[in-house]
Amino acid sequence: MKFLLVHPPMDGSEPPVRRTEGLGLAYVAAVLRRDGHEVEMLDGYLRRLRPRALIREILRRDFDCLGITASDVHKWTTISIARAVRKRRKDALIVAGGYFPTFHAQRLLTVCPEFDFLVRGEGETVVSEGFGRIARGEDWRETPGLAFRQDGTEVLNPLPPLVHDLDSLPFPARDELKLVGQGMPALIVGSRGCNHRCSFCSIPSFYALSGRKAPRSRSPRNVLDEIEEVTAATGIKEFVFADDNFIGPGTKNRERVFQFAEEIRSRKLDFAFTIQCRVDEIDEEILKLLKDVGLFRVYLGVESSVERQLHTYNKRTTAEQNRRAIELIRRVGLDLQIGFIMLDPYTTLKEMLENMQFLDDMDLKEFRRNMLRLQYTPKLGLYGGVPLIEQVRADGLLRKKGFDCEFVFKDPQFRLIYGAAQALGAPLGFLARLYRLVRS
């Protein structure tokens, strides 16, 4: 079969992050090629294509099957693509996979019948078996992990087990990175899943659908083989680890990180990389070790300085641990980026001011500037698979419209203040001015 695999741009405005490739799509492309299929990739996000331009580009291509990868931030663009392509390509298969189709399969099939089927959960095994059945003329509807409509009813097949040995997967295809990725970092995944159960995160729910909660790791040797291959093919020597949690808890995870550093040394590799980790799983020894072999930036899951919020988010960390971790990263001499959720349904004015004060005290001026300059609101997102949704629903604060989940603030004073800020069209600027006024 001939496939066109698409990574769409985000719906609406984009957050202040560096543009990177669609790695999930790249893994699926590699598996389909391994199975003998012809695959073309089109990364609309990496190419900076707006939805209409991306649709025009899709319709210029020749394919038997269009596959789209989608998270919640791509949902409306994904639906628009499927509808537009179906009008022109009546005989093509149109398929979507990723977090959004996984958690919203039933409604998505109803709202957008243009999809022939959806791939739920981890995609490599599902697409390999499903399209293998199609190529052999067998009934694809029996494939574990597929969702589809049959006789007017949405059918969600049980998911297959996750890939146990991640080293067995082919390296992700890097077509788009080779063509348009110069000056950008390459994404790399050393593990999948997370040991923790933060209530704002859908990652544990995603993997639990396949009956597994513990994360899986690739061997350091396999990861570095891929890094060497990417560098040779593209010249790129900066990598961002997309691991949900690069280090992880316990002695076994630390040993894996030490083996990774030792493997870099033994191969005498020279590349720079960024990791994502928790405040309670770093120490000076491990950061210095990683810095010595190329680590230059840490994305730290801080989330809040308010103890009530940290408890609501099930972080199992404290504000003091946040402060110590930030100070440690700076002392070691690494760049710092933070994850921060300033506003949730239970936020009060006092808590918002406390968080603003924390950003000032910790000299996180760049984060503050991004919030104000780009009107980027560090507000809790309620996406499919996020456990906190049920608490918000039970408390009567959830406002659901179709695929979209929003919330209202429980505290009447803060609800009024935030509503006024929204009416002025610049909620963060308004709240920042309010903070400065109270502080003075």
The per-residue pLDDT for range 46-85, each reduced to its tens digit, is: 998 999 999 999 999 999 999 999 999 999 999 999 999 9
Q: How far apart are CA 37 and CA 188, in angstroms?
A: 24
For 253-271, the pLDDT digits (tens) are 999 999 999 999 999 999 9
Pair 124, 28: CB distance under 8 Å? yes
For position 313, what pLDDT does the model report? 98
Give phi and psi for 149, each to the nearest 5: -100, 135
For position 20, what pLDDT does the model report? 79
The domains of the chain, with CATH numbers, are 2-156 (3.40.50.280), 185-339 (3.20.20.70)
For position 120, what pLDDT does the model report? 97
250-267 vs 284-292: helix axis angle to the nearest 10?
Answer: 20
Q: How far apart are CA 156 and CA 170, in angstroms?
A: 27
Q: DSSP alpha helices (H): ranges in 73-181?
A: 75-88, 99-103, 105-111, 123-135, 175-180
Q: How far apart are CA 117 and CA 113, in angstroms?
A: 9
Q: Which of 71-75, 285-289, 417-421, 428-432 has the lowest mean pLDDT?
A: 428-432
Q: Is it the case that residue 429 has pLDDT exceeding 70? A: no
Q: DSSP alpha helices (H): ranges in 89-196?
A: 99-103, 105-111, 123-135, 175-180
Nearest alpha-carbon partner for 26 in 168, 170, 137, 143? 170
For position 139, what pLDDT does the model report? 94
Q: Is it the case that residue 127 has pLDDT exceeding 50? A: yes
54 is written with which tokens?
A: 């991306």
Pair 5, 38: CB distance under 8 Å? no
3-state secondary structure of 189: coil
Q: Is it the case that residue 277 has pLDDT exceeding 90? A: yes
For 161-213, the pLDDT digits (tens) are 999 999 999 999 999 999 887 788 999 999 999 999 999 999 999 999 998 76
Q: What average pLDDT is seen over the chain?
A: 92
Q: Is it the case that residue 14 has pLDDT exceeding 60? A: no
State in Å, rounded, how far the first CA of the chain is from the last one.
67
**Total H helices, total E strands in the chain:** 18, 16
Residue with tokens 């298969």: 93
pLDDT band for 16, please (50, 70, 90 cuts): very low
Pair 100, 118: CB distance under 8 Å? no
For position 371, what pLDDT does the model report? 64
Cα→Cα distances 428→165, 346, 357, 377, Å: 45, 18, 14, 7
412-423 vs 349-361: helix axis angle to the nearest 10?
Answer: 70
Portion of the chain with pLDDT greater than 70, in percent = 94
Highest average pLDDT, of 30-34, 133-137, 210-214, comes from 30-34
Give phi and psi for 422, each to the nearest 5: -65, -40
Q: How far apart are CA 27 and CA 162, in angstroms?
A: 14
Residues near 275 by beta carbon (within 8 Å), at least 6 away in sequence: 241, 243, 246, 247, 290, 295, 297, 298, 299
pLDDT band for 15, please (50, 70, 90 cuts): low
Pair 33, 387: CB distance under 8 Å? no
Q: Is it the case that residue 368 has pLDDT exceeding 90? A: no
Pair 320, 328: CB distance under 8 Å? no
CA–chain centroid gap for 164, Å, is 21
Q: Is it the case that residue 440 has pLDDT exceeding 80? A: no
Q: Is it the case that residue 316 has pLDDT exceeding 50? A: yes
Q: How far apart are CA 244 and CA 248, in angstroms?
A: 9
What sign does the dihedral 241-243-248-251 (CA atoms) show?
negative
52 is written with which tokens?
A: 């209409």
Neighbours of 34 (CB within 10 A): 12
Q: How far apart are CA 304 and CA 354, in angstroms?
A: 9
For 201-248, the pLDDT digits (tens) are 999 999 999 987 679 999 999 999 999 999 999 999 999 999 999 999
Residue with tokens 């080779």: 178
Tell me the Ramachandran region of residue 67: left when phi exceeds 0, alpha when psi lies from -120 to 50, beta otherwise. Answer: beta
Residues near 146 by beta carbon (within 8 Å), at least 6 away in sequence: 117, 118, 119, 120, 126, 130, 140, 157
For position 255, what pLDDT does the model report? 95
For position 426, what pLDDT does the model report? 65
Q: Is it the case that residue 282 has pLDDT exceeding 70? A: yes
Cα→Cα distances 35→125, 134, 170, 273, 367, Å: 11, 12, 11, 32, 45
Pair 103, 6: CB distance under 8 Å? no
- 3-state SS record for 46-77: CCCCCHHHHHHHHHHCCCCEEEEECCHHHHHH
Hey, what's the torsion of the CAs at 390, 396, 402, 404, to 10 degrees? -70
